[in-house]
Amino acid sequence: MLALYKIIFGPMLLLQALWLRRTALRLPEAAGPRSGLEGALGTSSRPLRILIVGDSSAAGVGVDEQAQALAQPVAQLVADKIGRPVAWQLVAKSGINTKEAIELLLNSELEPADFLVTAVGTNDVTSQRAPTQFLQDYAYLVKSLRQQTGALGLVATGLPPLRILPAAPHPLRWYLGRYAARLDRILKNWIDQDSMARYVSLDWAAKPLEMARDRFHPGLGQYRHWAELVAEQILDLQSRISIHPAE
């Protein structure tokens, strides 16, 4: 159905996409450090280690500081819950799709990690990458990260509900929403087959009034809720994987 829709409305979709690219408000990535140590800093326990990888949302576009975004709040929430320091590293860049995330990581110095958090896929929609290629690249990304960092646990964020994207006009909004939903289903099905992985849906974020002023990225409250959901899944995995302070 989507293929037929694209054929019929292709010229209109292209014109609207070009208009959106030309007129969209471009906000900077959140300022602040891309790595750090949170919580229980006086203890001698080895920190739990989290690596967050992704696109503009992982980079904190839509808020001012990393302390308001995703990576640092996730680390703080987990540290507060387990009473143990949490070291975090963020590798993210606006505009990248899953294939480009692989390329970004090849040129990044990665620290060892116990858990991975991924947030990519939106730009696979906007760049119209085939679902099979998207999943193939996602699987390769995760496999490569696990090999490089030693991480066992994975928390994968689903694609955002682009069907409500206020910055995009119809029918482009409808089309992007359906395409994102398709990639999201494929991703969730793949994640569900991995006992060391958890999926975090972003469907709850379908609230345009709570989004950032560019009408594309999460707002402050949405980032906080997202961080809470990711932290919950890390804690669930941590209890099952049993990563001890002495390891």
Alpha carbons 235 and 225: distance in angstroms, whole number: 15
The band of 185, judged by pLDDT with boundaries at 50, 70 and 90, is very high
Amino acid, res. 78: V
pLDDT of 26 above 50 = yes
Domain that holds residue 75: 2-241
Q: What is the pLDDT of residues 76-124, one digit of tens each?
A: 999 999 999 999 999 999 999 999 999 999 999 999 999 999 999 999 9
Q: Does residue 247 belong to any structural domain of this protein?
A: no
Q: Does residue 82 belong to any structural domain of this protein?
A: yes
Q: Does residue 190 belong to any structural domain of this protein?
A: yes
State the average pLDDT for the chain. Answer: 91
The band of 4, judged by pLDDT with boundaries at 50, 70 and 90, is low
Residue burial 81-102, b: 16+ Cβ < 10 Å; e: rest: ebebbbbbbbbbbbebbbbbbb
Instruction: Please tell me the total count of domains within the chain.
Output: 1
Q: Does residue 246 belong to any structural domain of this protein?
A: no
Dihedral angle over CA of 150, 192, 227, 119, nearest 10: 70
Q: Does residue 111 belong to any structural domain of this protein?
A: yes
The CA-atom distances, in angstroms, between 175 and each of 56, 69, 93, 111, 134 are: 21, 28, 25, 39, 17
Q: Does residue 231 belong to any structural domain of this protein?
A: yes
Q: 4 or 235, which is more confident?
A: 235
CATH of the domain at 71: 3.40.50.1110
The residues near 23 (Cβ < 8 Å, ≥ 6 apart) are none
DSSP 3-state assignment of 242?
coil
pLDDT at position 109: 95
CA 193 vs. chain centroid, Å, equals 19
The band of 22, judged by pLDDT with boundaries at 50, 70 and 90, is confident
